Amino acid sequence: MTEKMSGARATVEALEREKVDYIFGMPGGANLPLYDALWDSKIKHILVRHEQLAAHMADAYGRVSRKAGVCSATSGPGATNLITGIATAYADSSPMVAITGQVAKAMTGRNAFQETDVIGIATPVTKYTLQPLSAAEVPFAVKEAFYLATTGRPGPVLLDLPKDVQQEEAEMTFPESVTVRAYRPNVPVDPQDIERAAAMIVKAERPILWGGGGVRIADAAQPFGALAELLMAPVITTLQGKGDFPENHPLSLGPIGMHGRAEANKLVSECDLLVAVGVRFSDRSTGNFGEFAPGAKIIHIDADPTEFNKNKAVDLSILGDANVVMGMLFDAVAKRITKSKDLNNNPWLKRVNDVREELKGIPAYKDSYADLSGPRIVKRLRDVLPPEAILTTGVGRHQMWCEIHYQVLRPRTWITSTGLGTMGFGLPAAVGAKFAAPDVPVVDFDGDGSFVMTEQALATAVEEKLPIISVILNDRSLGMVEQWQRLMYNRHYIGIKFPNTPDFVKLAEAYGAHAKTVGSLDEFAKAMREGLRMDGPTVIEVPVSPLDDVFPFLPPGKGIKDTVYGSSKEMAIF
Amino acid sequence: MTRSSKVLSTLVENKPGTLFRVIHLVRLMRLNIEGLTLGVTNGGADCRMTMTLSGDDAAVEHVARQLMKVIDILEAHTYGPEEVTARELALVKINTDKISVAEIQRNTGCRIVDSSKHSVVAEIVGSAKEIDEFVQRLGESNVLDIARTGVAALPKETTSR
Ligand SMILES: Cc1ncc(C[n+]2csc(CCOP(=O)(O)OP(=O)(O)O)c2C)c(N)n1
């Protein structure tokens, strides 16, 4: 059955068929037909004050809900403002459809008002770009955009709609599905790979399971955790993979990486088998590739075959959806393990516990920090928040303290920009997460530098009465960079101090948010509890010292075994 | 780092923009494109692109593997020069004031595809090396202009993939 309507109307109709609830965006000349078509739609438009925020909101919405988040912008500056947010989503494989208006086809290439080649700009930071050239193509393009964004390894897809295509009327057919010939996201898992992997796993004496963002994306936490428990194998994660496995579980060692947990960074060099699931061997996780897990056989499980052997050669790669692969692997291993391992006599677990004991006293873990310091605030935050609460972050030391000290207990409750490391992600991500999970507390844990990059998201949060909380660690500095300048650039502090940081309470109140500065951990906990009961956003400013450095620290380019656990004094060796 | 010329052969869907997507990765890995041929195949559904790339060998391999992430790409392979049958076509405009057409043909066995008062256009097909040699034999001073297509290549049967 066909129906005559405009390209813009067809876009909205197709979005409704994709069960889109929200569009985060801002209108302008080139997408006005689209906005007009939203007039009587069930889809709710969430107005932002800057398009980058719309992209971060859609990104976080996608990470929490599993659906593609949708953002929209007009042509030219609207479209270019989206780019940082799109690139952030691409780096973390987040499902997103970004819809941009474009000048009418006849104006293309004439340097028309607000014409930019957004497809040219976005191609390297998107999974795909689409530009329908007639209205009748629109329903197919929308279907394809959602199909590509959400299947296989997810990612952002850009849909660029020339204004005349939005305005043109056509008889529309809405496809139930589309295929893209060269794209095969669901390759069946090779059972021989599973057998090979199972054989390697049961032979291993010192196995470690390593989870990344792919475990969350594939909803594979259940079989992933089950295999760890079956093997009694310790679990490490990437920074993105926090929450793949409950971090309060006795087998959890926490994340590895530049600011990973000391025991995780240490033990990964000692394992004889590393089962890497949905990770991409990012240099931030592994340190120097050659020195990573030198004595281990590595099994790599991923949905994206181009990740295999990209950064680190592995012994076995298994292509497939992590949930499917881990389920099959669990069965295959369970069949081979005839009796359960003697736990009391397991030298690997004994070694794990010895390392834990040995590292307990490192300065980073001793509460030698001041009362109001990153590590302590983060730990108190965990006490105040229920297990299902979602935490988003900015980028900087505050994020790294969460990496080390905040235990993520469930998948999809840790939303942070790791691949691109985009400052300003935290607050708009909290807004997007709250729309995706309205019944769950959502907290943005932020730095003063990151927060001001996208603080305008407060306006949206106030309008939408979102009871989210932004915790700002105010060190009046770009703390992470300050740490690098202190430890690696002879204390040449340049371009990092904020002598004129805003009064965050006044700033928040000016937007209509609740706000408070706290002077102790107890005050902080109290303010958090109050914030959780509010009917709109709360900003909690916590003044902290700029001199607290984040440890452990794996200096860039070094092997993971060279992680510095303790203090700035140890850094002198580098 | 080993540097050499490699052939990158890709089969892509025949759609606007696919060359652009391929070139992005080639540029990212700082490779130089020395030859590029491109033609529609498989009844118009696909397009085969053959690139001769010079630069770090590992970077060429990286491009070939990472290209499979690009949605429209069906196949991407790299070959060393010895692994492929490669041909290039060149049109060479020759000044006939000092060298006669008969002499040209006797010397080179090329085909003359156009002739004017003071010049002819010769067509030659062969390996890149054969074309270089052809130009040398003519004497560079007699050559007014050259248009080369770049290499089209197919793997030899013995090349297992
Ligand atoms: C958009 C962007 N610009 C610059 C950087 C480089 N950078 C990384 S961390 C950091 C400092 C972050 O400061 P703040 O948000 O106050 O957090 P803190 O480190 O003080 O906790 C900077 C500038 C970045 N990651 N993102």
Which residues in B lie closer than 8 A to residue A144 (C-beta atoms)?
none
Same domain? A378 vs A354: no
Give domain status of residue A19, yes or no.
yes
- Among this protein's residues, is A51 annotated catalytic? yes
Chain A / chain B CB contacts < 8 angstroms = 32
If one residue of A450, A455, A496 were mutated to test the ligand 1 pocket, choosing by the most ligand atoms within 8 A of its CB, it would be A450
Residue A555 lies in a domain: no
Say how far residue B17 (Cα) sits from the centre of its chain.
21
Average of per-residue pLDDT values in chain A: 96
**Tokens matching residue B142:** 């007699």
Q: Does A323 touch chain B (CB under 8 A)?
A: no
CB A462 within 8 Å of CB A537: yes
User: Measured from the CA of A496, which atom of ligand 1 is nearest?
Assistant: 23
Residue A80 and residue A199 in one domain: no
Measure in Å the smallest separation between the Cα of A128 and chain B Cα atoms.
Answer: 7
Distances in whole angstroms, Cα of residue A166 to Cα of each of A82, A144, A169, A413: 20, 17, 8, 38
The rounded Å distance from CA B30 to ligand 1 centre is: 29
Radius of gyration of chain B (CA): 18
Is A163 one of the catalytic residues? yes
pLDDT for position A263: 97
Three-state DSSP at A133 gives: coil
Query: Considering the domain boundaries, does residue A146 fall inside one?
Result: yes
Point out the least confidently predicted range of B59-68, B72-81, B94-103. B94-103
Q: Are residues A78 and A199 in the same domain?
A: no
Section B18-40 average pLDDT: 94
Q: Which of A125, A143, A172 is the last residue of a domain?
A: A172
For residue A571, being part of any structural domain is answered with: no
**How far does CA A286 lie from the centroid of its chain?**
18
Give the model's pLDDT for residue B33: 95
Q: Could you tell me if A519 and A409 lie in one domain? A: yes
Q: CA A290 to CA A508: how far, in whole Å?
A: 48
Q: What pLDDT, on a 0 to 100 scale, did the predictor assign at position A186?
A: 85
Are A65 and A94 in contact by the 8 Å Cβ rule? The answer is: no
Q: Which residues contact A509 (CB under 8 A, 6 or more apart)?
A: A515
Residues A343 and A464 in one domain: no
Look at the block and give the residue holding tokens 């985009």: A422
To the nearest whole angstrom, how far is the Cα of B70 from the nearest Cα of chain A? 8
Whether A123 is in a domain gets the answer yes
A114: left (phi over 0), alpha (psi -120 to 50) or beta: left
A472, A477, A480, A493, best to mutate for ligand 1 pocket (most atoms within 8 Å of CB): A480
Q: Is A289 annotated as catalytic?
A: no
Q: Taking every pair of C-alpha atoms in chain B, what is the biggest distance, in angstroms?
A: 55
Please tell me the distance in Å from A144's CA to the nearest CA on chain B.
Answer: 12
Ligand 1 touching residue A112 (CB < 6 A): no
DSSP state of B156: -
In a domain? residue A178: no
Closest CB to A123: pick one of B12, B21, B69.
Answer: B21
Nearest to A304 among B17, B45, B69 (CB): B69
Q: Which of A13, A18, A51, A307 is catalytic?
A: A51
Q: How many domains does chain A have?
A: 3
For position A502, which CATH number holds? 3.40.50.970
To 10 degrees, the CA torsion angle through A530, A532, A537, A542? Answer: 60
The gap from C-alpha A257 to its chain's centroid, in whole angstroms, comes to: 16
In the block, residue with structure tokens 């041929």: B37
List residues of chain B with CB under 8 Å from any CB of chain A.
Answer: 12-13, 17, 20-21, 24, 28, 45, 62, 65-66, 68-69, 71-74
Instruction: Give A80-128 as a DSSP string.
Output: HHHHHHHHHHHHTT--EEEEEEE--GGGTTTT-TT---HHHHHGGGSSE
User: How many whole angstroms separate alpha carbon A26 and alpha carbon A185?
Assistant: 33
Which residues of chain A lie closer than 8 angstroms to B74, CB-CB? 181-182
For residues A119 and A211, membership in a common domain is answered with no
Which tokens belong to A449? 């530098």
- Selection from A332, A388, A26 nearest residue A193 by Cα: A332
Atom nearest to A84 CA in ligand 1: 1
Q: List b or e across A172-202, with b for residues whose CB sees 16 or more CB atoms inside 10 angstroms.
A: bebeeeeeeebbeeeeebeeebbebbbebbb
Choosing from A480, A483, A516, A528, which is the catalytic residue?
A480
Q: Answer yes or no: is the C-beta of A421 below 6 A from any ligand 1 atom.
A: yes
Token readout for B38 is 């491109």
Question: Does residue A455 lie in a domain region?
Answer: yes
- Say yes or no: A148 contacts chain B, CB-CB below 8 A: yes
ω into A556 cis (within 30 of 0): no
Q: Domain check: are A161 and A195 in the same one?
A: no
Among protein residues, the one whose CA lies closest to atom 5 of ligand 1: A423
User: Does A114 participate in catalysis according to the annotation?
Assistant: yes
Gap between the Cα atoms of B8 and B81, Å rounded: 10
Among A137, A172, A207, give the residue marking a domain's end.
A172
Give the residue whose CA is nearest to atom 3 of ligand 1: A423
Phi, psi of A439 (to 5 degrees): -95, 5
Residues A344 and A201 occupy one common structural domain: yes
Distance from CA of B76 to the nearest CA of A (A): 12
What distance in Å separates the CA atoms of residue A329 and residue A128, rounded to the nearest whole number?
32
Closest CA relative to residue A327, chosen from A191, A154, A186: A191
CA A423 – CA B29 distance, rounded (Å): 27
pLDDT score recorded for residue A574? 47
Q: Residues A210, A142: one domain?
A: no
Bridge partners (DSSP) of residue B93 are: B121, B145
A542 lines ligand 1 (CB under 6 A): no
Q: What pLDDT is attached to residue A344?
A: 67
Name the domain boundary from A304, A326, A359.
A359
Q: CA separation (Å) from A485 to A247, A259, A498?
A: 32, 17, 15
pLDDT of residue A572: 52
- A449 touches ligand 1 (CB under 6 Å): yes
pLDDT in tens, A222-234: 999 999 999 999 9
Q: Identity (one letter) of the amino acid at A491?
A: R
Nearest chain B alpha carbon to A121: B24
* DSSP codes, A150-164: HSSS--EEEEEEEHH
Pairwise CA distance, residues B19 & A92, whole Å: 26
Query: Using CA atoms, how far apart are residues A75 and A32, in angstroms rounded to an integer?
Result: 11
Domains of chain B: 3-79 (3.30.70.260), 85-153 (3.30.70.1150)
Q: CATH number for the domain including A246? A: 3.40.50.1220
Distance CA A30, CA A99 (A): 11
Q: Give yes or no for residue A85 CB within 6 A of ligand 1.
A: no
Q: Is B105 exposed, middle or buried (0-12, 13-18, 19+ CB in 10 A)?
A: middle
Residues A309 and A418 grouped into a single domain: no
Q: Are A230 and A365 in contact (CB under 8 A)?
A: no
Residue A157 lies in domain: 3-172
On the question of pLDDT at B1 being above 80, the answer is: no
Q: Which among B20, B28, B68 is the nearest to A306, CB-wise?
A: B68
Which among B12, B20, B73 has the least Cβ separation from residue A123? B20
Instruction: Assess whether the C-beta atom of A450 lies below 6 angstroms from ligand 1.
Output: yes
**Domain assignment present for A565:** no
Do the Cβ atoms of A402 and A393 come closer than 8 Å?
yes
Distance CA A208, CA A201 (A): 10
- Amino acid B108: pLDDT: 77
Is the Cβ of A120 closer than 8 Å to some Cβ of chain B?
Answer: yes
Provide the whole-model pTM.
0.96
CA–CA distances in Å: residue A557 to residues A76, A83, A121, A276, B23: 39, 29, 30, 21, 30
- Do the Cβ atoms of A443 and A527 come closer than 8 Å? no
Residues A9 and A153 occupy one common structural domain: yes
Which residues have C-beta within 8 Å of that of residue A118, sequence separation ≥ 6? Answer: A75, A79, A80, A100, A102, A158, A160
Q: Which of A120, A180, A310 sits opposite B71 (nearest CB)?
A: A180
SS3 label, residue A226: helix
Looking at the structure, tell me whether residues A11 and A154 fall in a common domain: yes
Residue segments in chain A with a per-residue pLDDT below the cut of 50: 573-574
Question: Residue whose CA is closest, atom 1 of ligand 1?
Answer: A423
A310 to B65: CB separation less than 8 angstroms, yes or no: yes
Torsion from C-alpha of A266, A269, A271, A276, nearest 10 degrees: 100
Helix (H) or strand (E) segment spanning residue B95: strand B84-95
